[in-house]
Amino acid sequence: MKRLFTSIILLVALPYICVAQQGKRHLMSEWRDGDYIVRRYIIEDDTLHKANYELHYAINSATTAPEYEHNDIELERLDRFFAELQSDTLRHVSSITIAGYASPDGTTPFNAELARERAEKLSAMLSERYGLTGYNVTVTSHVEPWSATTKPIEESKLKNRSDIVNIVNANEAPMTVDRRLKREGDAWQYLKTDVLPEMRRAVVTIAYSTDHEVYSREYSPEPREVIIVEEVVEDDKHSKHHKHHKHGKHHKRHKMVEEWDGIIIDFAE
């Protein structure tokens, strides 16, 4: 003879604390994966990175010509950066600096105007190309000093390079240095073809930071039922004497049955 007494115990999942923000960590979403809680965080990173792009110009020109020198390559790099910026929500631009430069040969007022025009025209071109509204954009201009030619002169094969270095570093007006260098034959030709063209440029510097995406997994099982079943089972060794006794002898046996996804597991004692 069997009597069943059933009790239901509800096991509750372990509690967890949801922290929406801790310092520079932001909780973006969470979901359950079986017995785990998965959370997606964004970690802010203030580390600044800089991407530099350099475009060159023909003498006395402020037009950014894609076919001039390696401008096509630099413009392709800029295209790629802004395309990635549109799709990468973790990248944030802090500032954009557009600096125009002019070489030191010629008059200082003309060179200053040329450098400024290069920067402003490039800024307008990039604004039309990428839509820079909303970005922190700074436009500057500079005329390179003659002393900036010192290193390439020292690294050249000019026989009188020491004399030329002394000229470009002399404490004299730029136009005076200009006239003296033009009397130096090979040295002037070297400067004219190999050094000064590299100074006619504009540099785009983009400062940006990139946040990090991280995930966490926390063990937190879902609630489930545990069923305790009590059985009263007649003792076999007394069953044959049952007719001689008013009350038969019985033993109680407990079974714990855990029901989980339709599977019954018997933990009999």
Q: Which residues of the chain have pLDDT under 70?
A: 1-23, 224-269
Query: Which residues 6+ apart lie within 8 Å of 54 measured at CB?
Result: 74, 201, 202, 203, 204
Q: What is the pLDDT of residue 236?
A: 55
> Is residue 23 domain-shared with residue 3, that is, in the same domain?
no
Q: Which amino acid is at 206?
A: I
Instruction: Give tens-digit pLDDT for 179-222.
Output: 999 999 999 999 999 999 999 999 999 999 988 788 889 998 87
> Is residue 38 domain-shared with residue 94, that is, in the same domain?
no
Asked if 250 and 234 count as a contact pair (C-beta separation under 8 A), the reply is yes
> Is residue 135 domain-shared with residue 81, that is, in the same domain?
yes
> Is residue 34 domain-shared with residue 137, that is, in the same domain?
no
> Is residue 186 domain-shared with residue 254, that is, in the same domain?
no
Domain, as residue range, for 229:
1-13+222-269
Last residue of a domain, which of 219, 244, 261? 219
**Alpha helices (runs of H) in the chain, residue ranges in sequence order:** 71-87, 108-130, 150-154, 161-168, 174-181, 186-190, 196-199, 236-239
Pairing of strands 25-33, 21-22: antiparallel
> Is residue 137 domain-shared with residue 229, that is, in the same domain?
no
Last residue of a domain, which of 201, 219, 237? 219
Q: Which amino acid is at 179?
A: R
Query: Which residues 6+ apart lie within 8 Å of 92 measured at CB?
Result: 208, 209, 210, 211
Q: How many domains does the chain have?
A: 3
> Is residue 82 domain-shared with residue 176, that is, in the same domain?
yes
> Is residue 77 domain-shared with residue 205, that is, in the same domain?
yes
> Is residue 191 domain-shared with residue 267, that is, in the same domain?
no
> Is residue 123 domain-shared with residue 182, that is, in the same domain?
yes
Q: How many CB atoms lie within 10 A of CB 46?
A: 9
> Is residue 34 domain-shared with residue 82, that is, in the same domain?
no
Q: Give the CATH number, domain containing residue 143.
A: 3.30.1330.60
Q: What is the pLDDT of residue 2?
A: 44
* Whole-angstrom distance, CA of residue 19 vs CA of residue 27: 7
* Whole-angstrom distance, CA of residue 114 vs CA of residue 149: 19
Q: What is the pLDDT of residue 9?
A: 38
